[in-house]
Amino acid sequence: MSFGVVSCIYLHIALKLSWKANMPSDKDKEVRDPAALELFKSLGLDSKTAQNAVANPKVTANLTDVVREVGDLHRSIVSPFS
């Protein structure tokens, strides 16, 4: 299984689990973390989904942690062969 597939699976699971948390209200639609928004978009999330994820601090934290863990996993797999 390639790194891209694994990272997509992790993100999908994290997003699904995190989405059960309280959904942001309309007043929370401003971008709280522009860096996280750009990170989520760069991973393939559409703009609306990325904005909704960033509007909820708990979702933002969970997804950012998953991205960091996947990056660490990827580095540990690739570095022995570099």
Give me the mean pLDDT over the 8-35 stretch.
Answer: 62
Rounded Cα–Cα distance for residues 46 and 70 (Å): 20
The pLDDT of residue 81 is above 80: no
* DSSP state letter for 56: S
The structure's pTM equals 0.57
Give me the mean pLDDT over the 11-29 stretch.
Answer: 56
Note down the domain range covering 77: 3-81
Rounded Cα–Cα distance for residues 41 and 28 (Å): 19
Domains in the chain: how many in total? 1
Rounded Cα–Cα distance for residues 56 and 59 (Å): 5
Rounded Cα–Cα distance for residues 38 and 23 (Å): 20
* DSSP state letter for 26: G
